[in-house]
Amino acid sequence: MPTFLPLLVLVLLLHQQLTFAILTISIKGSKFFTSDGDQFYIKGVVYSPDAQEYNSLTNGAQCAIDAQLIANLGANVVRVYGVDPTLNHDECMKAFEDRGIYVVLGMTTPVYTVNRANPEWTIDLRNALAQVIDAFQAYDNTLAFFAGNEFINDQATSKVGPYAKAVAADMKAYRDLMQYRTIPIGYSAADVAEIRSQQQDYFSCGPANTSVDFYAFNRYSWCGSSSMAESGYNVLYEEADGYDIPIFLSETGCHVGDADRDFEDQVAMLGREMNDRYSGNIIYEWAQHENKYGLVSYDNDAATGTPSMMGDYTRLKSQWATLDPTGVKASAYSPSLTNRACPTSTSGGWLVQKNADLPTLGTSGLTAPTGSRSTTRASATSTTGGSAGSSATGFSSSLNNNNPSQPSKTPVGAIAGGVLGGLVVLALILGLILFLLRHKRKARAALESQEDGTANRPAGDLIPVTDEEEKIQQNGFYGPGYHELHGQGTMAELDPARGHAAAMPAAEMASHRGPVEAGIAGESEEERGEREGAPVQSRSGEERTVEPSPYVQAQRNMEMEWLESEEARLRQRRELLIRQNGGGS
């Protein structure tokens, strides 16, 4: 018995290492890095399978099916627009974590958001969004939060900017107050051509505690066969020169009509042309809906079961298989970046005064944990509440019961305790051995890459896609599906199109052909209508009662109001565009 105990522990530890450990992501300078110090590039898809856009992380069995297919595609990120933090997301988050997939999560929903027509940032809203952080901070594969999505969606609504930054600032303050992991909190912008660079500068300008941790925007301009110049990506690249926080596309994947997409834009975004300034992009979208941007299609509206892979899935998979940039190591990266100046306001342009105050609320009424908080899952608890209290936020008060971080407490007797103690010591020794072995391998790899000159690449240098060998070394945390992609890894190095640096004229980019202006997710009017009248479906079975919760009722009512204002806004926007384009669009 004692002889195979260490073996058992070893096997368990190895299993743990190979299957469950996902590296957390943090920011240094203008780049994302894994906790191992490797640069992280986003190959993402919008995950909103049943067209409701919210609560797609509650059906564990379905998430497992989808996560495997998303891993097979070669993605490492899913974007989820929003959640009800009172529901349980453990199984879904685990399904994605097990396959090496991170989640970028929107904190707002149509109910809990800043209304751009009548912006307000209130204690209730602040506390509601704080619950999203409480519910997701303990998952290692929570990559980042969006404090807002497209609050500003035309020149006139640029005046909502201070509210958007206040949300981000207060949520960052809350995250830090609670001593949670420093999960990046950023913003997902609409691509408004007239104020694009002002908006980009605005979100990063000012002191670190009032700016976003990263900036992302939705962009639909590389449509079909295109180029850096024709798509305006050359301008995006120019505008990201020296940008001091990470930047990426939070939605992309233009198509003309229902045409097939070949995703050649991915070669630009993840290849040498852009990968020294951009951190990747998120393709719109996983499931086929009315607007026909899907990569897969389900045979039922609830989007359950195994979907069928469409042509776009296969074509995106082929592109991604050849694009795996390594970037720089965190240890070799010491950026000297200058904080952007806040943009100057102009009438008819960017409307926010340079020194305008933010309507921040701070963390008043929220309770900091006493003593120091360990960073492990087991110790994380929610203390959101304060003056408004969590019931006043509209979420059910069962949040703490559903908190994924609560450990189950098993009473352990004295004798069992002794045996466990011995096991822990054994595990620690074996863990140390494993760590040393791993460390040695990494040191060797670092040395080798230094020898071939890739380790000390300066920050601004153009970065090649990885070679086959490095890719295999790095794939420890990707699921088995990802390994299927190795075969094509070296092609990228050999294809001259992928090694070409951008040297194109900076022609101004104006086309705006994608669904980006449709507010959230490019949802069609018809889908909006359907969603409005449809019962809120639970994909989690027993976790939801038959009676709609107050949250759901509030969501329906506020969503209806929101939809009405959206429709009015869309009409105005369409009229404006028609006027500007002399009838065409």
Residues that bind ligand NAG (CB under 6 A): 169, 173, 207, 209-210, 360
Q: Which is nearer to ligand NAG, 209 or 398 (CB)?
A: 209
Catalytic, 150? Answer yes
d(CA 226, CA 261): 12
Helix (H) or strand (E) holding 435: helix 414-451
The radius of gyration computed from the CA coordinates of the chain, to the nearest angstrom, equals 24
Burial of 370 by CB count in 10 Å (0-12 exposed, 13-18 middle, 19+ buried)?
exposed
How many Cα neighbours within 13 Å face the side chain of 579? 6
Q: What is the number of the residue whose Cβ is closest to ligand NAG?
A: 209
**Active-site choice (53, 91, 97, 251):** 251
Alpha-carbon 545 to chain mean position: 30
Closest distance of CB 162 from ligand NAG, Å: 11
SS3 494: helix
Closest distance of CB 250 from ligand NAG, Å: 24
Q: Are strands 42-46 and 77-80 parallel, antiparallel or unpaired?
A: parallel
Closest distance of CB 64 from ligand NAG, Å: 41
Closest distance of CB 184 from ligand NAG, Å: 17
Catalytic, 543? Answer no
Closest distance of CB 173 from ligand NAG, Å: 5
Q: Which is nearer to ligand NAG, 212 or 282 (CB)?
A: 212
Q: What does 195-263 look like in DSSP terms, one character per residue?
A: GHHHHHHHHH-S-GGGS-S-EEEE-----SS--HHHHTHHHHHHHTTT-SS-EEEEEE---STT-----
Closest distance of CB 583 from ligand NAG, Å: 46
Q: Which is nearer to ligand NAG, 87 or 133 (CB)?
A: 133
Q: Which is nearer to ligand NAG, 173 or 283 (CB)?
A: 173
**Active-site choice (97, 150, 470, 527):** 150
d(CA 60, CA 78): 15
Tokens of 555: 């969501």
Report which of 354, 349, 351, 352 is spatially closest to residue 193, judged by C-alpha positions: 349
Cβ contact 326:466 at 8 Å: yes
Ordered alpha helix ranges (H), 141-204: 161-177, 196-204
Q: Which is nearer to ligand NAG, 218 or 360 (CB)?
A: 360
SS3 279: coil
Closest distance of CB 362 from ligand NAG, Å: 6
3-state percent breakdown (helix, strand, coil) of the chain, nearest 5: 40, 10, 50
Q: How far is CA 354 from CA 118, 150, 341, 344, 360, in A?
A: 21, 21, 9, 6, 17
Closest distance of CB 351 from ligand NAG, Å: 21
User: Residues with Cβ < 8 Å from 337, sequence gap 6 or more?
Assistant: 29, 30, 242, 243, 244
Q: How far is CA 252 from CA 73, 145, 421, in A?
A: 16, 18, 52
d(CA 220, CA 6): 55
Closest distance of CB 361 from ligand NAG, Å: 9
Cβ contact 247:277 at 8 Å: yes
d(CA 451, CA 453): 5
Residues labelled catalytic: 150, 251
